[in-house]
Structure 1
Amino acid sequence: MITARCLPLFTLLFATIGFQPALAAGDSDAAGAVPAQVLSEQGLYRVEVRQVPEPLPQGEHFNLGLRVVSMDNPDEPLDASGVSVQAGMRHGREEGFAHGMQSEPVVSVRDGLILVEGLYFHMGGAWTLQVTIDGDDGEDQAWLTLPCCGG
């Protein structure tokens, strides 16, 4: 029986369980589904994945559509001027990449989304996007783990 005294604890527990995969998606090298959203390291920004090819291609260029918002003003998306993206494979490293991608992504804005063009995953496995955001709330980074090619 759940008493009124325990209800806030259960609410917090279920909220944490429900949001944990999206918030922790950048912490793992395990391949799985593309996360719908992740919070930046300091919690200043939320990066939402809005357009992604399914499945992610191997050996072909592709694009992603992102929406980045400040947690202070989540209704107003940021433009691409303060957003940069790097990609690589971490292979268990906590800092940086074990190796990078063989192309350099270009960030622009199209139809209200931040478009990341020119991504190229040359091998299967868990690729990680490091999204650096330099907005009005300061600089922060978000990490998105993307499973390539069923790896």
Structure 2
Amino acid sequence: MLPDSLLEMDGDEAISYATILAVAATCDGEFSPEEMSAYESRVASLLYQRDVRERLSEIVGEWIDIEYHLEALSADSVKLLLRDTILMAACDGKYTDEEMKLIKQVAKKAGVDDETLNQLYLWVVEGWGWFGRGHQILGISEK
């Protein structure tokens, strides 16, 4: 696993982060295989905490108060959430209106300006390119 600050989150922060990321993955009414895979990979590092696993299982399908969970996050955790929400929303190849609304809500809480937000979108595009380049190097066709 790549190094990340997610491992430094306490139980409450981990729950809020994972909850809002789940909203990002499902707010367009679908939970595509790509979104599920991305969600599981981002949240997996938090699941070493037993109470986090149990609490996440309990909230599946519940209405989520985004503002409540944003308030539970530190400034750095909100920024990590923004990064990962943008990445999560891009997994199925498009940003829906619901995903964009959530991204803007998280960006506002993070105090991130439009230029920084645009840099994050570019980072996602570059990341897909980087990943695709690995396929090219190995001669694996893209799907």
TM category, shorter = under 0.3
Question: With structure 2 as the length reference, what TM-score do the two structures score?
Answer: 0.25
**Bigger Rg, structure 1 or 2:** 1
Q: Choose between structure 1 and 2: higher helix proportion.
A: 2
